Amino acid sequence: MTTPLILAALGGIATIVVLIVWLKVHPFLSLMAGSAVMAIFAGVPYPDLFKSFTAGLGSTLSGVGLLIILGAIIGTLLVSSGGADVIVDTILAKTPLQRLPWAMALIAFVVGIPLFFEVGVVILIPVVMFAARRANLPVVLLGIPALAGLSALHGLVPPHPGPLIAIDALGANLGLTLGLGLLVAIPCVIIAGPLLGKVMAKWVPIEARSDLLGSGGPAEGAKRPSFGAALTVVLLPVILMLARTVVEMTGAEENPFGAALVFVGTPLIALTITTIAAMFMLGFLLSKTRDEVSKLVGSAFGPIAGILLIVGAGGGFKQTLVDSGIADVIAKGLADAALPPLLAGWIVAVLIRLATGSATVATITASGIMAPLAAGLPPTHAALMVLAIGAGSVFLSHVNDAGFWMVKEYFGMSVGQTFKTWSLMETVLSVTGLAGVMLLSLVV
């Protein structure tokens, strides 16, 4: 029975790769088709072909989907109110010229917590261009630290879709993953950002483009939030979820205060509280009407529709892997290969990332494959498995990744220059993330 199940997995993954890479089919339909092919090869009766897929899609959207929606609302309010601009402007105003690369990494790290990667890029690229022109510095010197900060948070730290998917699939603790993810992300950003950017700026000493100095903030003359208010909205869900983790690890959840912290630190509650706080601090307190705030909240849903569909389909694919017994067979094969589980998770994510170009698809597929192995891990190592897969999912962005072309066009680089900067940065970030995970596994 083992060989047919392995062939079923390979057939499903190959279908996804072919559809996404060569036929340019949307990842949602590709994941759906891959699940069907895998179920057929695994001997699932035709009437039940999509039974596991629909069950997995529903359970994923009911959990992870809600968190992504709330995160999108918070990000939209942060951008539209000018809160993101305030954080950027405040940090830049207090930074000496020679430390601008480090400032850009810090800005990306902070605003990258609640914002999706693509949104963060759109916000920060004009800032990078302006700062590089003002300081007469190569744009790569400031751009790489900003991209490293955004990419590290995107791959390693919830509430970004990738980590949330892996947490759900592997049954990891969200607060614990968040805390360990921030620990791993810091050296990743430092090494792949300011330190590597200094070298890359010598390889690709291009100037900043002058036509990307727009802003995604509020209309001219509109009230903007204070730095403290904007930073509070960014950090509130992090603080609430980390507080819950500390309470649970110290066994203090039995007393009333500890129980209250456990409740408000539940991911859905923490993000709901933050969403309400954002509506007031970045909306009503800035003299926006209820109708204006409602429209801003509504505008957050359209851009994430595709993400939600892919995430849901990923949950369906993962459930098909699990219910057919394929995940157990692959996990047993990885265990028999005597590879450390964390390294195995990273390698699986890397291979799928290289094949499909999608960090999200890599995370979804690798999480489904590694779920049986993660079931026997202690909570800290289950969280580290999420981070290992997340680190693998950003490895070597190349021509089949939309992010590759996004960075190329924004920075006005050639394909070769993009490989020497963005692609190399992603690879260094991925390997540094794996190293951080493996080191943490020795002490936690």
How many domains in the chain? 1
Nearest of 283, 276, 242 to residue 262 by alpha carbon: 242
What is the overall mean pLDDT for the chain?
87
Confidence class for position 150, pLDDT limits 50, 70, 90: very high
In a domain, 246, yes or no: yes
In a domain, 3, yes or no: no
Digit-coded pLDDT (tens) for 25-81: 888 898 899 999 989 988 889 888 899 999 989 988 887 888 888 988 998 898 889
In a domain, 149, yes or no: yes
In a domain, 382, yes or no: yes
Torsion of CA 77, 80, 86, 88, to 10 degrees: 100
Give the per-residue pLDDT at 335: 67
In a domain, 240, yes or no: yes
Distance CA 153, CA 390 (A): 10
Give the per-residue pLDDT at 259: 92
What number is the average pLDDT over the span 15-20? Answer: 85
Give the per-residue pLDDT at 130: 77
What number is the average pLDDT over the span 231-249? Answer: 86
In a domain, 198, yes or no: yes
In a domain, 71, yes or no: yes
What residues make up the domain containing 377? 51-441
In a domain, 70, yes or no: yes
Q: Above 90 in pLDDT, residue 373? A: no
